[in-house]
Amino acid sequence: MGDADLANLSDKLMLTTVVLYIIAMVAYAADLGFGRRRARPAADAEVEAKVLVGAAGAASVDAGSSGKSGTAAASGDDETPERTQVEPAKLAILLNVVGWGAHLGALVSRGLAANRWPWANMYEFLTAIAFAAVTAFLIVLLRYRARYLGAFVMVAAVVALGVANIWLYDEVGPVSPALNSYWIAIHVTAAIIATGAFTVAGAATILYLIKARAESRGKVGEHGILARMPSTEGLDRLANGVTMFAFPIWTAAIIMGAIWADQAWGRYWGWDPKEIWSFITWVIYAAYLHARATAGWKGRKAAVLALIAFAALMFNFFGVNYMFSGLHSYA
């Protein structure tokens, strides 16, 4: 198969991915809105406390009946043994996984067509970030059954892929000499993984703020969408746990980027706009984690700081690349 055929295959797989993600998004929304489930705050607090313990804690959840009810609550479920999962959820997860496979195929085939790592321009970078976000969500779904995040993560993925394909699409081609390096497989991959994970954490944080506000006004109710989600404490813990995973990877991406900059441009740090905003993003996320660890910040204050960090991350990607001239930008 020639390069042109592989490039064409990549485009078709990307279109397939978008269609599958859209249907999965609708199915997740239907499951969230109409699934016959209720949240059980007492139980989900117990299981969500185990979320950050690790695999052993997850295994203990499945061991007994009390753990079983707690796991259901972590996904906002109170299901009987005869109806362990409603049909919209099964369809959503199936389409999500198939779409993820098509997404992976689109990235791999584009890389083979270009004979390089497939994240050397804005189109490729954004589609790779969407892939990382969906992958992070599927891992969270597998471990914690947090399918309540599905509709929101799918919205982000569909919007990202729509923007990439409509406004940012580039034909397969060579890259500049500065990008023709093995460091693109290290530095950029780390940035993509961290951004994808931060996106999932951002979705959980937004849900936390929405539910916390509704609770303060007494508008959650017993059968609404928010009532089917875990407690605010569970959402807060999940957002914090995913951020704790992503932050060291973002740190490594910045360090490896500095090393690559020295090899490519003869300096480790030149206060390029991308470098500045990457550092600003790192500082805000570091402040968020530090405040939680030392000052005991939880709840709304921590969530607002996490959203500020996520906004800085998004500006670093979209704003800096198009609003400022620099070695990393497209202005």
Element (H, E) at 39: none
Find tokens 């609550």 and name the residue: 73
70 located within any domain:
no
Q: Which residue has the higher pLDDT, 77 or 134?
A: 134
Length of the chain as a residue count: 331
Query: Are 152 and 295 contained in the same domain?
Result: no
One domain for residues 20 and 89: yes
In angstroms, the CA 275 to CA 180 distance is 20
pLDDT at 82: 40
**pLDDT tens by residue, 25-73:** 999 999 988 865 544 444 344 444 444 444 344 434 344 434 443 434 4
- Tell me, yes or no, whether 47 lies in a domain: no
pLDDT in tens, 288-310: 999 999 888 888 999 999 999 99
Q: Are the C-beta atoms of 162 and 131 separated by less than 8 Å?
A: no
3 state SS of 269: coil
Tell me which of 200 and 268 has the higher pLDDT: 200
Assess whether 248 and 303 both reside in one domain.
Answer: yes
Q: pLDDT at position 299, please?
A: 84
Among 175, 192, 218, identify where a domain stops: 175
Greatest distance between any 2 Cα atoms in the chain: 65
Shared domain for 138 and 29, answered yes or no, is yes
What is the total count of domains within the chain?
A: 2
Average pLDDT value for residue range 74-97? 66
CA distances from 25 to 65, 99, 150, 227 (A): 31, 11, 7, 20
Q: Which residue has the tokens 């690790």?
A: 54
Last residue of a domain, one of 175, 209, 240: 175
pLDDT of residue 163: 95
- Write phi, then psi, for 115 (nearest 5 degrees): 60, 45
Asked, for residue 5, whether it belongs to a domain, the answer is: yes
Do 171 and 207 lie in one domain? The reply is: no
115, 223: one domain: no
- Clarify whether residues 22 and 92 are in a common domain: yes
Which of residues 175, 195, 224 is at a domain's end?
175
97-126 pLDDT tens trace: 999 999 999 999 999 999 989 988 899 999
Q: What are the pLDDT digits (tens) for 173-189?
A: 887 776 778 888 899 99
Same domain membership, residue 120 and residue 23: yes
- Residue listed under structure tokens 């059954």: 145
Exposure letters 184-193 (e unless 16+ CB within 10 A, then b): bebbbbbbbb
pTM of the model: 0.83
- DSSP tally for the chain: helices H, then strands E: 12, 0
Domain shared by 238 and 153, yes or no: no
pLDDT recorded at residue 154: 97
| 59 located within any domain | no
What are the Cα distances from residue 175, in Å, to 102, 120, 164? 25, 7, 18
Residues 222 and 112 occupy one common structural domain? no
The average pLDDT across 126-148 equals 95
Residue 270: domain span:
181-331
